[in-house]
Amino acid sequence: MLIHTRSIDHKVFEVWRSPERFTKNPDLIVLPSGRYMLIYADTDAHWSMKNQVLTLLASDDGGRTWFKHREIDRANLTQGDERLVTPRLSRLNDGRLVVIIDHNDDGHFHENQPAGNWLYWSDDDGDTWTKQTDAGIRGFEPDRIMDLPDGTLGVASQMMRSEGQEMSENLWVSADGGKTWALRSVIAYDGYHRFCEGAIVWLHGGKRLACVLRENHSAGIPCFVTFSDDNGYTWSTPQVCPFALHRPYAKQLADGRVLVTGRNVNGGLGCYAWVGDLEAEAGTHVTGGPRRKYLADLTPDALVIHNRLEHEARYTLLPPESSFSEVVFEAEVRVEASASVPVAFMSVSRLGQVVSIAPDGVYLQRGRNFLKASVDMTRFRTVRLQHRGGLFQVLVAGQIVLHKSIWREETPAQDFWGGDPSRRTQFGQMESSGRSEWRSVRYDLKNPTLADYHWEWSAASGEWPDQYQRDRLILIHPNHPAQQPWPDLGYSSWLQRDDGSVFLVDYTNCGDVPDTAHLVGVLIDPEDLA
């Protein structure tokens, strides 16, 4: 797999394997004694249909070797138990350990469904545990329980709201040490974005809180971040982040920067890291790069993409808000190949439109057929896709050559991996033969309610379309797009050591047979984060 970002995947080692099982969603802490502890869900598959074992591992040599410390709980679906899903482990200021784990999403997904997050408490560093099933923390996919600066305990979780029928991220707090919990605030909700899997970060010694959020439409929509200066009672308007990670795990490093890790869904497939000034870079949106190996050259005149089997050089842009958005998507491009072979494409999600470019013309799908405009595309020409009020048009050299009406219920923009061009706004390689040359690309959005968006790039700049990701994202460990049933990893957790290094754990199915996975560890040195 050819990687176009910085990579430390050579440092990955196996932490734990449960034969013929799926080791899911590890979370890591360190005790005052120096012992590492790791919680994970031992299941029969990613989405378990049989049984789950909430399992606690321990390491006394800094994470090099591990042993099973305790089985905290079990669930058996065949006997009527609810599914255990994603555990999180915390050590609180008073010395107690606490695990929070959600249950079957379908039964606790909505605000009008009962609470399904259970807590497990330990006063003896994980030797014995007490179960609490009535905490009242609603929603699912909770963050870690943490001590908030005002002395309360807090935890974030997500749930669907009746209004808008979209997810919100919410902050629950306890003023009595975790016995009872109440909703303090809605961290993020706007009825459009699918905010979830929030990670709360202490900034400036607790004077400010940040919450880094997954956006679950994906398809080019990045993570978001929002800030609170009053212990989580109110939160700022969410701003985009310069990365798109599922289950972002975020904390502030000793040097003041924030490190975020998670499953990358806007570029190469794997667990990636971003490190930087979260406050300064909030509001920065960047272009997504290829998700798998590719062959391309950047010359002063053009980005030259060489099509090959199992190669895929595609660049992802922010999707329109809806089919009511106005779109102008324009590129100066030419292709080389056999006469009618599709070589390159431009697509607009939400509209569900893919325009393929071959040497003999441009093509637009209409039902089971294709509309074709005969144009010599072996010469540089400006191809422009534009949409307004339901009229989608394709222009070449300023002339309308194809057009189509767009219904308001067109394809939604939801695609994690980027395998379906109609569900992403993209440009780049189509099929496995020929080559394309791109001199410039311009993209403009006018949205009904969301902010408008503008992006442009030219080869003359000397930068790749995804230059930010190439410079700033760090590949921790990859997974191939062909992994069956899909590449699965990225619910990471880490801690920073006294020497400045970071020890990270994650799960992955890389190289495993379907419905199995194993846990991996990575030691990230300070120079890796420079």
The identity of residue 11, as a single letter, is K
Distance CA 355, CA 401 (A): 12
Mean pLDDT, residues 232-249: 97
Shared domain check, 310 and 241: no
Q: Record the pTM.
A: 0.96
Cα angle 93, 158, 247 (rounded to 5 degrees) comes to 75
The answer, yes or no, to whether residue 526 has pLDDT greater than 80, is yes
191 found inside a domain? yes
> Quick one: DSSP state of residue 110?
B
Shared domain check, 164 and 37: yes
The sign of the dihedral angle between the CA atoms of 259, 191, 449, 445 is positive
pLDDT in tens, 189-236: 999 999 999 999 999 988 999 999 999 998 899 999 999 999 999 999
Q: Helix %, strand %, coil % for the chain, to 5?
A: 5, 50, 45
Mean pLDDT, residues 5-34: 94
> What single string gives the DSSP state of each residue in 2-25?
---SEE-GGGEEEEE--TTSEEEE
In contact, 367 and 352? CB cutoff 8 Å = no
pLDDT in tens, 44-76: 999 999 999 999 999 999 999 999 999 999 999
Assign 138 a pLDDT band (cuts: 50, 70, 90): very high
Shared domain check, 394 and 272: no
Distance CA 149, CA 130 (A): 26
> What's 330's domain CATH number?
2.60.120.200
Tell me the average pLDDT of the chain. 95
Shared domain check, 512 and 393: no
Which of 465, 493, 519 corresponds to the end of one domain? 465
Q: For 459-487, give one letter per residue: b (16+ CB within 10 A) or e.
A: beeeebbbbbbbebbbbbbbbebebeeeb
Shared domain check, 109 and 223: yes
Distance CA 30, CA 37 (A): 6
Distance CA 193, CA 447 (A): 14
Assign 4 a pLDDT band (cuts: 50, 70, 90): low
Assign 1 a pLDDT band (cuts: 50, 70, 90): very low
Q: What is the pLDDT of residue 236?
A: 98
304 found inside a domain? yes
Q: What is the pLDDT of residue 6?
A: 80
Assign 127 a pLDDT band (cuts: 50, 70, 90): very high
Q: What is the pLDDT of residue 8?
A: 83
pLDDT in tens, 483-492: 999 999 999 9
Q: What is the pLDDT of residue 228?
A: 98
The identity of residue 141, as a single letter, is E
Q: What is the pLDDT of residue 367?
A: 72
Distance CA 55, CA 39 (A): 6
Assign 340 a pLDDT band (cuts: 50, 70, 90): confident
Shared domain check, 491 and 382: no
Shared domain check, 285 and 300: no
The answer, yes or no, to whether residue 143 has pLDDT greater than 50, is yes
Shared domain check, 305 and 262: no
CA atoms within 13 A on the CB side of 33: 11
Which of 421, 443, 465 corresponds to the end of one domain? 465
The sign of the dihedral angle between the CA atoms of 518, 519, 525, 528 is positive
Q: What is the pLDDT of residue 370?
A: 87
Shared domain check, 355 and 495: no
Q: What is the pLDDT of residue 411?
A: 67
pLDDT in tens, 352-409: 999 999 999 999 987 778 899 999 999 999 999 999 999 999 999 999 999 999 998 7
pLDDT in tens, 324-334: 999 999 999 99
Beta strands in 379-450 (DSSP E): 381-388, 391-396, 399-405, 425-429, 435-446
Distance CA 152, CA 93 (A): 11
Mean pLDDT, residues 247-264: 97
The answer, yes or no, to whether residue 2 has pLDDT greater than 50, is no
Distance CA 174, CA 181 (A): 5
pLDDT in tens, 154-179: 999 999 999 999 999 999 999 999 99
Mean pLDDT, residues 263-292: 95
Q: What is the pLDDT of residue 368?
A: 74
In contact, 121 and 178? CB cutoff 8 Å = yes
Which of 465, 486, 516 corresponds to the end of one domain? 465
Name the domain count of the chain: 2
The identity of residue 66, as a single letter, is W
The answer, yes or no, to whether residue 441 has pLDDT greater than 60, is yes
Q: What is the pLDDT of residue 172?
A: 98
105 found inside a domain? yes
Range of the domain at 426: 296-465
Shared domain check, 443 and 312: yes
The answer, yes or no, to whether residue 105 has pLDDT greater than 80, is no
Tokens of 498: 């006294």
Q: What is the pLDDT of residue 206?
A: 87
